[in-house]
Structure 1
Amino acid sequence: MSVEIERLLDDTGWQLLQELQKNARLSYSELGQRVGLSSPAVADRMRRMEEAGIISGYRAEVNLPKLGLPVLAVIRLGSHNGQNCTRIAAQVSEIPEVLECYRVSGTDSVVTLVAAASVSHLERIVDQLSLHGLPTTSLVFSKPHKRPIITRELLERGEEWEEIL
């Protein structure tokens, strides 16, 4: 980790990150009250964290079934011999139903998370993805684990494991 990032991630920086991960719509004033800074100081901290790449964006989480996309699936793509995995991932990422796309190691080359309006819609997505590799599809029944809040403690746990090994 660079010196600049370490400076930004002091106790106050981590508090800001935690609050923003819980609710990215908090005002600078509200954030300042929660972490003990003025609104201008919060704005400056956030700007510097954005410039350093620590904060890479803000987003709204949407309820896919409420939008008419109740079918969620994980589709893994095995690569065909001679295919460029980077190119496959780039092409797959352009499919509108693909919510997430990861280039991975192992027998699969790409793993995607897709949303569909119906099983027949999912079938068309799988057919489209099969042009880029052999698909293996798993339907998502539920998501029992919400997106975690990234904390300093998580980072420290990783560092502790490095020391043990």
Structure 2
Amino acid sequence: MDRNLKIDNIDLKILSELSKNAKLPYTDVANRVFVSGGTVHVRMQKMEQAGIVKGSTLALDYSALGYDVTAFLGIYLEKSSMYEDVVAELQKIPEILNLHYTTGAYSIFARILCRDTKHLREVLHDKIQSVVGIERTETFISLEERIDRPPLLY
């Protein structure tokens, strides 16, 4: 893994195009960036080997699949030294989509996805709040997600 790979404007343009649509053929990316398809292919391989590109994702409408509740969870730890053990347990909970070690009021901030509020209650009570090292939690239910976009790459 080459962590010293130098990224230039062409790489950033390639990443920008593919972050908008990961299924875009390299030839289409090449046309938009004004390079050859081979150039896109080689540069993507190098960025994958360097660990910059970690794969591609499939965007799903979770609501259409019956998952209607997105919640954010502020987690207070009994002691910050318990962080690694708590994360190891939280990683086992499939409803947790993201986990961040944070500054501020919470030790950990998480995003979770559930079918409904009953499912959310079960996840909170039976799974998350039973993890040793978690002192308490605060839950914020998302009413609407208005913006979901990749970051702007310069």
Same fold (TM over 0.5): yes
Q: Which amino acid aligns with 1:66?
A: A
Q: 1:150 aligns with which of 138, 149, 152?
A: 152
Give yes or no for contact 1:89–1:102 (8 Å, CA) kept in 2: no
Structure possessing the higher relative contact order (Cα contacts under 8 Å, 6 or more residues apart):
2
Partner of 1:129: 128
Gaps of 5+ in 1: 153-165
Partner of 2:84: 86
Give yes or no for contact 1:22–1:149 (8 Å, CA) kept in 2: no
Q: Distance in 2 between matches of 1:105 and 1:3?
A: 27
Q: Which structure carries more helix by proportion?
A: 1
Partner of 2:49: 51
Partner of 1:155: none
Partner of 1:68: 66
Q: Which amino acid aligns with 2:5?
A: I
Percent sequence identity is 25
Which residues in structure 2 correspond to 1:113-128 (within 5 Å)?
113-127=111-125, 128=127
Q: Which amino acid aligns with 2:151?
A: I
Give yes or no for contact 2:20–2:150 (8 Å, CA) kept in 1: no
Gaps of 5+ in 2: none
Runs of 4+ in 1 over 4 A off after TM superposition: none
Q: Distance in 2 between matches of 1:116 and 1:110?
A: 19
Give the deviation of 1:150 after TM superposition: 2.7
Q: 1:146 to 1:78 in 2, by over 3 A?
A: same
How many correspondences in the alignment? 149
Q: 1:82 to 1:55 in 2, by over 3 A?
A: closer
TM-score (norm 2): 0.88
Q: Which amino acid aligns with 1:123?
A: R
Give yes or no for contact 1:77–1:109 (8 Å, CA) kept in 2: yes
Give yes or no for contact 2:3–2:51 (8 Å, CA) kept in 1: no
